[in-house]
């Protein structure tokens, strides 16, 4: 069945940024006379999509979880960035069923002792899920607080016995141009790729997430496996992972390929380093207090260095100039 995709999404990849998509959506909505009043009359962009997501099994609670107010499930699962499912914030929830997650396997390759194809079951079997309530800060200057469930990425990576040449790890999202509507347009180079330095990947805060809010990940949130790297901008938290490569050289990342002046390899949350076209000093917290479109205009809070995780991760960057290594 052919999918119709809005003409507005046919944008040259060098021109598009998350901020622009946001602004364009805002312009469209106000042109349509669809501003603040929309929430009041009950047209919320994050009413529940109603997709049934199974409960996860046993989950233990991690002691380092933040106690800040959580983003409601409906907001976290209907206001997403997952460009494979479309560039509008509501598209990933609307198109979630285009992503087929069963069967799922992950290719492990490169500088390690145990490369190969691992089924999702092989990947998950030895790991116990822990719930960790983390902040996730998008480069577009909004943030959410989400109870993720998963296990430290490092525990998984160690099983593949990375060798001394494994200086970096690259991750790749599923490619399925037939089904994933966003992959029909060159908004980004497909497949989506991301990378971490090996010590960042092995850091105990880096989570391989399989669930949120006590349930399996919904597709729009990156089922069945996604990273959550809480001290970096959200785009480092790659969704629906099908390949993990241990490499010697700093790997390509999708946003850096698309706009190298705007998105660096490190992408650590840093209030002192502006994005070239907007400040990173403040952010809007999506916490359900303000519903609907009004939330997009709600009061801003100060952004914290490393998204509030400086105590844990600042040591990874000792001696590095974070303005050049942005």
Residue 62 CB, shortest distance to ligand MTE, in Å, is: 19
Nearer to ligand MTE, 81 or 216 (CB): 81
Element (H, E) at 30: helix 18-31
Determine the distance from the C-alpha atom of residue 257 to the mean position of all C-alpha atoms in its chain, rounded to a whole number.
17
Binding partner selected for residue 84 from Mo ion, ligand MTE, none, CB under the kind-specific 5 to 8 Å limit: ligand MTE
Residue 119's contacts (CB-CB under 8 Å, 6 or more residues apart) are: 103, 104, 105
Nearer to Mo ion, 132 or 232 (CB): 232
The single residue among 81, 170, 206, 307 that binds ligand MTE, judged by CB under 6 A, is 81
Query: Does 223 interact with ligand MTE (rule: CB under 6 A)?
Result: no
Residue 282 CB, shortest distance to ligand MTE, in Å, is: 17
Query: Does 234 interact with Mo ion (rule: CB under 5 A)?
Result: yes
Q: Which two tokens stand for residue 18?
A: 């998350």
Determine the distance from the C-alpha atom of residue 235 to the mean position of all C-alpha atoms in its chain, rounded to a whole number.
5
The 8-class DSSP code of residue 94 comes to H
Instruction: Report whether 108 contacts 116 (CB < 8 A).
Output: yes
The single residue among 17, 143, 216, 221 that binds ligand MTE, judged by CB under 6 A, is 221
Instruction: Report whether 285 contacts 142 (CB < 8 A).
Output: yes
State the Cα–Cα distance between residues 60 and 41, nearest whole angstrom.
Answer: 40
Q: Per residue in 284-300, is it b (16+ CB within 10 Å) or e — as a string?
A: bbbbbebbbbbbbeeee
Query: Does 138 interact with Mo ion (rule: CB under 5 A)?
Result: yes
Residue 34 CB, shortest distance to ligand MTE, in Å, is: 23
Stretch that binds Mo ion, among 75-83, 154-162, 236-244, 318-326 (CB under 5 A): 75-83
Q: Which two tokens stand for residue 89?
A: 């914030």
Query: Does 142 interact with Mo ion (rule: CB under 5 A)?
Result: no
Stretch that binds Mo ion, among 51-59, 138-146, 159-167, 171-179 (CB under 5 A): 138-146
Q: Which two tokens stand for residue 46?
A: 């994050």
- What residues make contact with ligand MTE under the rule CB under 6 A? 18, 80-84, 136, 138, 173, 192, 221, 234-235, 237-240
């Amino acid at each position: 069945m052919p999918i119709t995709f809005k003409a507005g999404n046919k944008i040259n990849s060098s021109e598009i940024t998350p901020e622009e998509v946001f602004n364009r959506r805002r312009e469209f909505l106000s042109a349509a006379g669809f501003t603040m009043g929309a929430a009041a009359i009950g047209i919320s962009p994050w009413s529940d999509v109603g997709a049934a997501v199974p409960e996860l099994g046993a989950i233990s609670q991690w002691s380092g979880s933040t106690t800040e107010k959580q983003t409601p499930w409906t907001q976290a699962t209907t206001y997403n960035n997952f460009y494979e499912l479309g560039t509008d914030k509501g598209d990933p929830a609307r198109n979630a069923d285009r992503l087929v997650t069963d069967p799922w396997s992950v290719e492990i390759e490169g500088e390690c002792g145990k490369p190969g194809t691992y089924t999702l079951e092989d990947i998950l079997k030895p790991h116990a899920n822990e719930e960790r309530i983390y902040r996730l800060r998008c480069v577009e200057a909004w943030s959410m607080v989400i109870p993720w469930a998963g296990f430290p990425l490092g525990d998984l990576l160690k099983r593949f016995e990375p060798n001394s040449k494994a200086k970096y790890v690259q991750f790749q999202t599923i490619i399925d141009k037939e089904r994933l509507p966003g992959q029909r347009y060159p908004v980004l180079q497909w497949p989506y790729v991301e990378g971490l330095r090996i010590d960042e990947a092995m850091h105990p805060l880096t989570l391989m997430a399989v669930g949120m809010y006590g349930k399996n990940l919904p597709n729009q949130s990156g089922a069945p496996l996604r990273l959550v790297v809480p001290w970096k901008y959200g785009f480092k938290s790659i969704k629906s992972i099908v390949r993990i490569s241990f490499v010697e050289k700093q790997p390509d990342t999708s946003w850096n390929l698309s706009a190298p002046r705007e998105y660096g390899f490190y992408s650590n949350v840093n209030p002192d380093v502006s994005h070239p076209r907007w400040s990173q000093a403040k952010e809007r917290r999506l916490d359900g207090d303000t519903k609907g479109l009004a939330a997009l205009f709600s009061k801003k809070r100060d952004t914290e260095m490393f998204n509030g995780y400086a105590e844990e991760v600042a040591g990874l960057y000792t001696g590095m100039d974070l303005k050049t290594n942005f």
